[in-house]
Structure 1
Amino acid sequence: MPELDTLAIIGLAIICAGGLAYALIYPLLSGEVKAEQRREAVAQITPRPVRTKVEEASAKRVSIEDTLKEIERKQQKSSKPPLQVRIAQAGLTWTLRQFYIISGALAIGAGLATLVMGMPPLAILAAVVVFGLGVPQWILNHLKKRRMTAFLNELANAVDVIVRGVKAGLPLGDCIRIVATESQEPVRTEFRHIIEQTTLGIPLHEAVMKLFDRMPVAEANFFCIVVSIQQKAGGNLSETLGNLAKVLRDRKKMKAKIVALSQEAKSSAAIIACLPPAVMFFVYLSTPQYISLLWTTDMGRLLMAACLFWMFTGVMVMRKMINFDF
């Protein structure tokens, strides 16, 4: 039966060829090869460049230095704020036109008052200049200083609220929003400005940096630097702000101690400055013709001007001696 053997061999060859073709072609037709390639591509891990601790510390230091340089540059630009900014720093809502109108009204009122009193033209001009230019600026600076003092008294408490919120797991923006809602003025208003700016899309660190423009004190600058560096370089925000709150309270205690220790010198300066006018007033009450030579004669007026100049110089020297920057 050679024909049957031949047919069997041919059949077995066909079966082997079909099995081999099935084994080689079926994975391509069924998509198993592509699936395997996709799994390998997904499972493949691209090696990341490993940075040492020294390199990370160096990069962080460079980021902090860049942030500090940017802060210093902004502060140099805002060293001499315009009049509108100073009005806002004083907590007033006046426009420049309203400020000029009030200054002009004070100048006109002072001029009319001195004119009615029969003063000489030079005295009238001096009164107009003082009340038109000097008094409004003095009032503005006084309101600004009083508002900054109130801000410093409340800033440490606001920072403590932020520290507790961050430790509880709240984001920094929500902590600032709590301060803007529950703190005392003017901290509440200043932090509300930060929230309003972040609502408009300004990044948080840029909004915080504008706090120093509205409240140019060292303590506000510390807060701006801490938040800005943390936002750019990272770090433990709660610990950093906790240290900042401690620094703010220590500065407040030091300022109170300096004020207490300098009260004696301030009292001495006040007594020395008030003693000559008081003696002059009582002498005038007793013997007017004796003391009137000081303003009725040329030599008397010259001596009075010299005495006023030296008294003013002495008071300014004592003021400089008892004022401390820390």
Structure 2
Amino acid sequence: MLATLLIAVLGFIVIAGVGFALFSPAGADAKTLKRAQVIAGGAEAREAVRRRPGVTAQEQRRKQILRTLKEQDRQSKKARLSLEARLKQAGLSMKVSTFWMLSAALAAVVLLLVLVLGRSPLIAIGLAFAAGLGAPRWVVGFLGAKRIKKFTEAFPDAMDIVVRGIKSGLPVHDSLRVIGKEAPEPLASQFNRLVESIGMGMTIDQALEKMYDEMPTPEVRFFAIVLAIQAKTGGNLAEALGNLSTVIRSRKLMREKVKALSAEAVASAAIIGSLPPAVALLIFVTSPDYMAPLFNDPRGHILLMIGGFWMTLGVLSMRKMINFKL
């Protein structure tokens, strides 16, 4: 009995000693070592410990600002891609409902015309879909791009007018009014709206943001940033706008240079994209019976649809490859 109790006590002591040796001293030594390093590290170690939360907070603020800017940019792009914004960019005053009504009327006219000509209902539906949904939006996009291009080309001259007005003693608001009177369209109408918005009580930042919704160009964004920075920090506004005018003209020269360098690729893409439809049209004109199964047989309709799909995909891919944005 005594031997059993002695063995139990010795076993407990051995187990407790092993556990104490494996866990407690190492952890205590590690904590003690860290504390000693912090204490013995002097001012540098204490400064590092003190700075660590500050750096983390700064990184968090930076990430939050980046997330906010990305969200604002995403919402701005979504708003600019809406049909209402594209109608404004094209200079059309019609409502979105009116646009859809005209598109539906065009689709109905094309559908009836193709059916009257005796073509397949499948072809009639496809052409009506393209005429009602594709053609009007393409026209709006074309008009918008043309109008934005004219605005961008005349924008440096507007900056020069503001610079000369400021140097001669005119306020910025009066210089903007001069642009609305003297500049060509569409620059004049946009700056007239800008002056009217400021006169109605908007801040110049809000008025420029409204202008950017109708003319989503980097030049307008640069102009808004320059005015915002000058309003907050001060400085020579004439010099800042003069530098902006130089930058915008340099961007224009760069675009022209890129256009010249990519002219061969653009011509190649145009030839490759137009070659299959041109060959099909020539064969249809010279040998109508050879092409007749494509238009009379349902299997030919399926082949035409597949060919049109792949041609569209190829044209869009080539357009993506030769479309350079600066």
Give the Cα separation in 1 of the matches to 2:66 and 2:206: 13
1:169-208 aligned within 5 A: 169-208=169-208
Please state how far the C-alpha of 1:228 moved relative to its aligned partner.
1.6
1:117-156 aligned within 5 A: 117-156=117-156
TM-score of the aligned structures, taking structure 2 as reference length: 0.71
Percent of aligned positions that are identical: 40
Change beyond 3 A, Cα 1:295–1:73: closer
Return the letter of the residue paired with 2:99.
F
Indicate if the aligned counterparts of 1:160 and 1:245 stay in contact, CA closer than 8 A.
Answer: yes
State yes or no: 1:89 paired with 2:128.
no
- The one-character-per-residue Cα deviations of 1:271-317 (angstroms, maximum 9, x if unpaired) are 22222333333334444444445555676656555544443333333
Indicate if the aligned counterparts of 1:71 and 1:225 stay in contact, CA closer than 8 A.
Answer: no
Change beyond 3 A, Cα 1:270–1:76: closer
**Which segment drifts farther, 280-289 or 225-234?**
280-289
- Aligned partner of 1:157 in structure 2 is 157
Please state how far the C-alpha of 1:170 moved relative to its aligned partner.
1.5
- The one-character-per-residue Cα deviations of 1:173-231 (angstroms, maximum 9, x if unpaired) are 11111111111111111111111011112222322232211111111111111112211
C-alpha RMSD of matched pairs (Å): 2.7
Return the letter of the residue paired with 2:77.
S
Return the letter of the residue paired with 2:150.
A
- The one-character-per-residue Cα deviations of 1:118-171 (angstroms, maximum 9, x if unpaired) are 222222322332222222211211111111011001101001111111122211
- Aligned partner of 2:237 in structure 1 is 237
- Aligned partner of 1:114 in structure 2 is 114
Return the letter of the residue paired with 1:322.
I
- The one-character-per-residue Cα deviations of 1:84-110 (angstroms, maximum 9, x if unpaired) are 332222111112332233222212211
Indicate if the aligned counterparts of 2:208 and 2:220 stay in contact, CA closer than 8 A.
Answer: no
Please state how far the C-alpha of 1:320 moved relative to its aligned partner.
1.8
Q: 2:94 is paired with a residue of what secondary structure?
A: coil
Give the Cα separation in 1 of the matches to 2:68 and 2:173: 22
Q: 2:127 is paired with a residue of what secondary structure?
A: helix
Indicate if the aligned counterparts of 2:226 and 2:241 stay in contact, CA closer than 8 A.
Answer: yes
Change beyond 3 A, Cα 1:69–1:90: farther
- Aligned partner of 2:31 in structure 1 is none
Number of paired residues? 261
Q: 1:91 is paired with a residue of what secondary structure?
A: coil
Return the letter of the residue paired with 1:237.
L
Give the Cα separation in 2 of the matches to 1:221 and 1:307: 42
State yes or no: 1:215 paired with 2:215.
yes
Q: 1:79 is paired with a residue of what secondary structure?
A: helix
- Any unmatched runs of 5+ in structure 2? 1-64
Return the letter of the residue paired with 1:100.
W
Change beyond 3 A, Cα 1:93–1:110: same
Give the Cα separation in 1 of the matches to 2:298 and 2:174: 71
- Aligned partner of 2:103 in structure 1 is 103
Give the Cα separation in 2 of the matches to 1:300 and 1:226: 60
Based on CA coordinates, which of the two structures has the bigger radius of gyration? Answer: 1
Indicate if the aligned counterparts of 1:208 and 1:227 stay in contact, CA closer than 8 A.
Answer: no
Indicate if the aligned counterparts of 1:211 and 1:224 stay in contact, CA closer than 8 A.
Answer: no
**Which segment drifts farther, 154-163 or 89-98?**
89-98
State yes or no: 1:271 paired with 2:271.
yes
Q: 1:169 is paired with a residue of what secondary structure?
A: coil
Give the Cα separation in 2 of the matches to 1:304 and 1:148: 37
Give the Cα separation in 1 of the matches to 2:108 and 2:303: 32
Return the letter of the residue paired with 1:134.
G
Please state how far the C-alpha of 1:70 moved relative to its aligned partner.
8.6
Give the Cα separation in 1 of the matches to 2:132 and 2:189: 31
Give the Cα separation in 1 of the matches to 2:322 and 2:287: 38
**Which segment drifts farther, 242-251 or 232-241?**
232-241
- Any unmatched runs of 5+ in structure 1? 1-66
Change beyond 3 A, Cα 1:310–1:206: closer
Q: 1:80 is paired with a residue of what secondary structure?
A: helix
**Which segment drifts farther, 305-314 or 270-279?**
305-314
- Aligned partner of 1:248 in structure 2 is 248
